[in-house]
C-alpha cells in the first residue's frame, strides 16, 4: 500500500506512521504536513529515511493533488487540535477542518483513491452526563474546535452518499502519551510539576475524560482503514474514565510533588463536562486497548523526564507566549 498521511508531524499522526512501518515495513508513506506550531519534523526522525515528506497545507489543492498521486489510501490527521485556541481564534480551525477536508476529499475522488479515513473526535457528540455515545448518537458539538471537526465528518458522509467514496471515520477519545504538545492537560501538568510550577485546573476539576493511550488509537485507526465498512463511523474510546483533578493528583504523585501546586483557575467557556464512548463496533473488528491509564501515565511521565531535548525548545518558544496570554502568568 502507498498511503498519504496528512498531519503526521503531529502527536497522533507520527505515532500512526511508526505503527504502520513496524507492522508492514513494505508499505510506502507520503506525509503531508503544514508544520504549524504543533507539527515537528523531529516527531518523524526515527523513520525519516523511510517516508516521503511534503511540507504543505491540506487546503492547497495543487500540493494535495501532487502528493496524492499513486496513493491507495488517505488518512487525514491534519488539524488544529486545541480546544482553548479555537475559543480565542477560530479561523484556522474553519480553514483546516472544513476547507482542508473538502479539498482532500475532492482530490481523493479525482485520483480514484480506493480508501479514505477521517480522524475525528468524541467531541463531535458533545457532553454526556450518563452512559456512552454510540456511532448513532446525534452530532452536537460545543466548541469551534468540535463544530468544525463535525463539519469535516459531515463532508465525509456527503462524499460517501453523493459520490460513493469508500470513506470511514474514526472518532477517538482523549489521547495521551509521548510527543503530545504541552498545551494539553497531561503534558502541561507533567512539565509544570517537574519544574515546580503551578498546575492550572479549570473550574472544579470534576470534568471527566475517557483516556486513550496514543498507540492504542494508532492501532485502531489502522484496523478501521483496512477492515472498516465503507461509509461507517467507528468510536474508539479509552479503557478508563477519570476526573481531571484525579489525573492531576496522579501526575503530582508520579513526579514527587505535593498538592500545593494545584491551582483552580477560571473555567473554559462552554466546557464539556463528560465524554464517554461506546467502542463496541471497533471491538467487533478485533481491536481492544492494551494500555490502562495507570500504566500509560507512568510511561508518559517517564518519556517526558527522559526527553528534555524534545520539549525544552518548545517551552522556550511560541509556547511561552501562548502560555502567558492564556493563563495570564509566565512559566517558571
Ligand atoms: P497535533 O496538533 O499534535 O498535530 C496536528 C498536525 O496537523 C500537526 O503536525 C500540524 O502541523 C498539522 N496541520 C495542521 N493544520 C494543517 C493543514 N492545514 N495542513 C496540513 N497539516 C496541518 O494533533 P493530534 O493531537 O495529533 O491530533 C491529530 C488528529 O486526531 C486531529 O484530527 C484531531 O482532531 C484528532 N484527535 C485528537 C485527539 C487528541 O486527544 N489529541 C483525540 C481524538 C481525535
Ligand atoms: O476528546 C478528544 C479531544 O481531546 C481531542 O479531539 C482534542 O484534539 C484534544 O485536545 C482533547 O481535547 P480536551 O479539551 O479534552 O483536551 P485538553 O488536554 O485541552 O483538556 C483535557 C481536560 O482538562 C479538559 O476538561 C480541560 C481540562 N484542562 C485543560 C487544560 C489545558 C484543565 O483543567 N487545565 C488546563 O490547563
Query: Could you report the per-residue pLDDT of 39-69, keeping only the tens digit for each?
Result: 999 999 999 999 999 999 999 999 999 999 9
Pocket test for ligand 1, best of 12, 182, 276, 279 (most atoms within 8 A of CB): 12
Q: What is the mean pLDDT of residues 222-243?
A: 98
Is the pLDDT reported for residue 332 higher than 80?
no
Question: What's the pLDDT score for residue 249?
Answer: 98
CA-CA distances (angstroms) from residue 192 to 71, 179, 319? 42, 16, 13
- Nearest CA to 258 out of 268, 266, 248 is that of 248
> Which pLDDT value is given to residue 316?
87
Q: How far apart (Å, rounded) are the C-alpha atoms in residues 221 and 307?
A: 27
Could you read off the pLDDT of 155-167 as tens digits, one per residue?
Answer: 999 999 999 999 9
Distance in angstroms (rounded) separating the CA atoms of residues 14 and 44? 6
- pLDDT number for residue 209: 98
CATH topology of domain 2-175+213-236: Rossmann fold (3.40.50)
3-state secondary structure of 143: coil
C-alpha of residue 164 to centroid of ligand 2, in Å? 35
60 Ramachandran zone, left/alpha/beta (phi>0; psi -120 to 50) = beta
Cα distances (Å, whole numbers) of residue 310 to 75, 117, 197, 213: 25, 29, 19, 19
Q: What angle do CA 80, 4, 287 make, to 5 degrees?
A: 80
Q: What is the pLDDT of residue 49?
A: 97
pLDDT digits (tens, 9 = 90+) for 258-294: 999 999 999 999 999 999 999 999 999 999 999 999 9
Active-site residues, by number, are: 122-123, 145
- What pLDDT score does 317 carry? 83
Q: Which residue has the higher pLDDT, 67 or 318?
A: 67
Predicted local confidence at residue 43, as pLDDT: 98
Residue ranges of domains in the chain: 2-175+213-236, 176-209+239-266+292-322
What is the rounded CA–CA span in Å between residue 120 and residue 77? 8
Residue 331 in this model has a pLDDT that exceeds 90: no
Q: Counting beta carbons within 10 angstroms of the beta carbon of residue 255, is it exposed (0 to 12), middle (13 to 18) or buried (19 or more)?
A: buried
Q: Is the pLDDT confidence value at 108 over 90?
A: yes
Q: What is the DSSP letter of 194?
A: H
Phi/psi for 285 (5° steps) reads -80, -10
CA–CA distance, 319 with 45 (Å, rounded to integer): 22
In a 10 Å sphere around its CB, with 0-12 CB exposed, 13-18 middle and 19+ buried, how is residue 125 labelled?
A: buried
- CA nearest ligand 2 atom 3, residue: 174
C-alpha cell at 138: 446525534
Q: Percentage of the chain surpassing pLDDT 90? A: 98
List the grid coordinates of 306: 527522559
Mean pLDDT, rounded, for 218-226: 98
Residue 6 clears pLDDT 80, i.e. is over it: yes
Q: Average pLDDT in the 70-77 region?
A: 98
Ligand found nearest the CA of 190: 2
Alpha-carbon gap, residue 217 to 202, rounded angstroms: 26
Q: Is the Cβ atom of 224 under 6 angstroms away from ligand 2?
A: no
Ligand 1 contact, 34 CB (< 6 A): yes
Quick one: pLDDT at residue 264?
A: 96
Q: How far apart are CA 127 and CA 89, in angstroms?
A: 22
pLDDT at 330: 83
How far CA 208 is from CA of 12, 74, 181, 194, in Å, comes to 21, 32, 21, 24
- Burial zone of 256 (CB within 10 Å; 0-12 exposed, 13-18 middle, 19+ buried): exposed
- Can you tell me the mean pLDDT for 76-88? 98
Main-chain phi, psi angles of 36, to 5 degrees: -70, -175
221 in Cβ contact with 117 (< 8 Å): yes
Q: Would you state the pLDDT for residue 238? A: 98
**Minimum CA distance residue for ligand 1 atom 33:** 81
Fold of 176-209+239-266+292-322: UDP-galactose 4-epimerase; domain 1 (3.90.25)
Strand 2-6 versus strand 73-76 pairing type: parallel
Quick count: other Cβ atoms within 10 Å of Cβ 35? 14
Take residue 96 and report the three cell numbers written for it. 483546516
Q: Is 170 in the pocket of ligand 1 (CB under 6 A)?
A: no
3-class SS at 102?
helix
Q: Report how far residue 175's alpha carbon sits from residue 214's, in angstroms, rounded to the nearest whole number.
A: 5
- Reduced to 3 states (helix: H, G, I; strand: E, B; else coil), residue 67 is helix
Amino acid at each position: 500500500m502507498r498511503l498519504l498521511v496528512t498531519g503526521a508531524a503531529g502527536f497522533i499522526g507520527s505515532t500512526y506512521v511508526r505503527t504502520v512501518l513496524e507492522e508492514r515495513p513494505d508499505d510506502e508513506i507520503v506525509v503531508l504536513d503544514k508544520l504549524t506550531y504543533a507539527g515537528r519534523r523531529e516527531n518523524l526522525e526515527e523513520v525519516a529515511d523511510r517516508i516521503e515528506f511534503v511540507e504543505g497545507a491540506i487546503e492547497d489543492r495543487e500540493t494535495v493533488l501532487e502528493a496524492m498521486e499513486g496513493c491507495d489510501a488517505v488518512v487525514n490527521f491534519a488539524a488544529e487540535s486545541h480546544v482553548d485556541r479555537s475559543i480565542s481564534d477560530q479561523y484556522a480551525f474553519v480553514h483546516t477542518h472544513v476547507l482542508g477536508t473538502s479539498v482532500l476529499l475532492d482530490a481523493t475522488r479525482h485520483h480514484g483513491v480506493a480508501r479514505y479515513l477521517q480522524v475525528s473526535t468524541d467531541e463531535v457528540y458533545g457532553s454526556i452526563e450518563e452512559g456512552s455515545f454510540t456511532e448513532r448518537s446525534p452530532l452536537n458539538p460545543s466548541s469551534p474546535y468540535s463544530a468544525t471537526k463535525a463539519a469535516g465528518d459531515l463532508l465525509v458522509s456527503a462524499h460517501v452518499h453523493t459520490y460513493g467514496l469508500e470513506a470511514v471515520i474514526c472518532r477517538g477519545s482523549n489521547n495521551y502519551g509521548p510527543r503530545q504538545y504541552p498545551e494539553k492537560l497531561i503534558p502541561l501538568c507533567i512539565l509544570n510539576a517537574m519544574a515546580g510550577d503551578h498546575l492550572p485546573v479549570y473550574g472544579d476539576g470534576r470534568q471527566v475524560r475517557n483516556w486513550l493511550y496514543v498507540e492504542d488509537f494508532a492501532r485502531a485507526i489502522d484496523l478501521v482503514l483496512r477492515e472498516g465498512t465503507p461509509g461507517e463511523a467507528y468510536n474508539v474510546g479509552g479503557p478508563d474514565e477519570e476526573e481531571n483533578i484525579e489525573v492531576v493528583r496522579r501526575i503530582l504523585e508520579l513526579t514527587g510533588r505535593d498538592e500545593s501546586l494545584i491551582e483552580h483557575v477560571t473555567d473554559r467557556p462552554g466546557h464539556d463536562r463528560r465524554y464517554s464512548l461506546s467502542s463496541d463496533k471497533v471491538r467487533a473488528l478485533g481491536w481492544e486497548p492494551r494500555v490502562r491509564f495507570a500504566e500509560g501515565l507512568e510511561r508518559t511521565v517517564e518519556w517526558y523526564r527522559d526527553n528534555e531535548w524534545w520539549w525544552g525548545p518548545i517551552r522556550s518558544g511560541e509556547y511561552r507566549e501562548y502560555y502567558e496570554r492564556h493563563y495570564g502568568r509566565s512559566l517558571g
